[in-house]
Amino acid sequence: MSTLDIVIAIPVAPLLPVLVTWYLPWERWLPSRIPKIVLGPYLVYASFAAWHFRMPWWLVLVVAAWGLIVTLMAVTEKHSADKK
Protein backbone atom coordinates (compact mmCIF):
# COMPACT_ATOMS: atom_id res chain seq x y z
CA MET A 1 0.00 0.00 0.00
CA SER A 2 1.22 3.43 -0.84
CA THR A 3 0.96 6.46 1.41
CA LEU A 4 -1.95 7.75 -0.65
CA ASP A 5 -3.82 4.48 -0.12
CA ILE A 6 -3.36 4.80 3.63
CA VAL A 7 -4.49 8.44 3.64
CA ILE A 8 -7.65 7.43 1.74
CA ALA A 9 -8.34 4.34 3.86
CA ILE A 10 -7.98 5.91 7.32
CA PRO A 11 -11.18 8.02 7.20
CA VAL A 12 -13.16 4.97 6.05
CA ALA A 13 -11.99 2.88 9.03
CA PRO A 14 -14.90 3.91 11.33
CA LEU A 15 -17.28 2.45 8.74
CA LEU A 16 -15.87 -1.05 9.15
CA PRO A 17 -17.48 -1.88 12.54
CA VAL A 18 -20.85 -0.73 11.18
CA LEU A 19 -20.46 -2.97 8.14
CA VAL A 20 -19.41 -5.94 10.25
CA THR A 21 -22.19 -5.62 12.84
CA TRP A 22 -25.10 -4.39 10.70
CA TYR A 23 -27.09 -7.59 11.19
CA LEU A 24 -26.91 -7.57 15.00
CA PRO A 25 -30.20 -6.41 16.55
CA TRP A 26 -28.52 -4.30 19.26
CA GLU A 27 -26.48 -2.36 16.72
CA ARG A 28 -29.39 -0.98 14.68
CA TRP A 29 -29.37 2.31 16.60
CA LEU A 30 -25.98 3.37 15.24
CA PRO A 31 -26.98 4.69 11.78
CA SER A 32 -29.93 6.56 13.26
CA ARG A 33 -27.67 8.41 15.73
CA ILE A 34 -25.37 9.84 13.07
CA PRO A 35 -26.68 13.18 11.72
CA LYS A 36 -27.60 13.07 8.04
CA ILE A 37 -25.52 16.17 7.35
CA VAL A 38 -22.44 14.13 8.39
CA LEU A 39 -23.53 10.73 7.05
CA GLY A 40 -24.29 11.90 3.49
CA PRO A 41 -20.90 13.40 2.63
CA TYR A 42 -19.20 10.53 4.46
CA LEU A 43 -20.95 8.04 2.19
CA VAL A 44 -19.92 10.04 -0.87
CA TYR A 45 -16.33 9.88 0.39
CA ALA A 46 -16.73 6.15 0.99
CA SER A 47 -17.81 5.74 -2.64
CA PHE A 48 -14.67 7.60 -3.72
CA ALA A 49 -12.58 5.27 -1.55
CA ALA A 50 -14.37 2.26 -3.04
CA TRP A 51 -13.62 3.57 -6.53
CA HIS A 52 -9.97 4.17 -5.61
CA PHE A 53 -9.58 0.63 -4.31
CA ARG A 54 -11.23 -0.76 -7.47
CA MET A 55 -14.42 -2.12 -5.97
CA PRO A 56 -17.17 -3.21 -8.39
CA TRP A 57 -18.71 -0.32 -10.31
CA TRP A 58 -22.21 -1.10 -9.06
CA LEU A 59 -21.07 -0.85 -5.42
CA VAL A 60 -19.46 2.53 -6.06
CA LEU A 61 -22.64 3.81 -7.71
CA VAL A 62 -24.95 2.48 -4.98
CA VAL A 63 -22.90 4.05 -2.20
CA ALA A 64 -22.57 7.34 -4.11
CA ALA A 65 -26.31 7.47 -4.79
CA TRP A 66 -27.08 6.63 -1.16
CA GLY A 67 -24.73 9.40 0.00
CA LEU A 68 -26.22 11.95 -2.38
CA ILE A 69 -29.77 11.07 -1.33
CA VAL A 70 -28.92 11.35 2.37
CA THR A 71 -27.15 14.67 1.74
CA LEU A 72 -30.16 16.03 -0.15
CA MET A 73 -32.46 14.88 2.66
CA ALA A 74 -30.27 16.68 5.21
CA VAL A 75 -30.20 19.89 3.19
CA THR A 76 -33.98 19.75 2.68
CA GLU A 77 -34.57 19.19 6.40
CA LYS A 78 -32.22 22.04 7.30
CA HIS A 79 -33.90 24.35 4.80
CA SER A 80 -37.39 23.54 6.05
CA ALA A 81 -36.26 23.99 9.67
CA ASP A 82 -34.81 27.42 8.84
CA LYS A 83 -38.11 28.54 7.30
CA LYS A 84 -40.03 27.89 10.52
* Rounded percentage of the chain residues whose pLDDT exceeds 70: 90
pLDDT of residue 28: 63
Single-letter amino acid code for the residue at 72: L
Half-sphere exposure of 42 (CA within 13 A, CB side): 15
Q: Which SS3 state, helix, strand or coil, does residue 31 take? A: helix
- Number of domains present in the structure of the chain: 1
Distance between CA atoms of 31 and 44, rounded to whole angstroms?
15
CA 71 to chain centre: 10
Range of the domain at 26: 3-83
pLDDT 10s digits, 23-57:
777 666 666 778 889 989 999 999 999 999 999 99
Task: Summarize the confidence of residues 69-76 as an average pLDDT.
Answer: 94
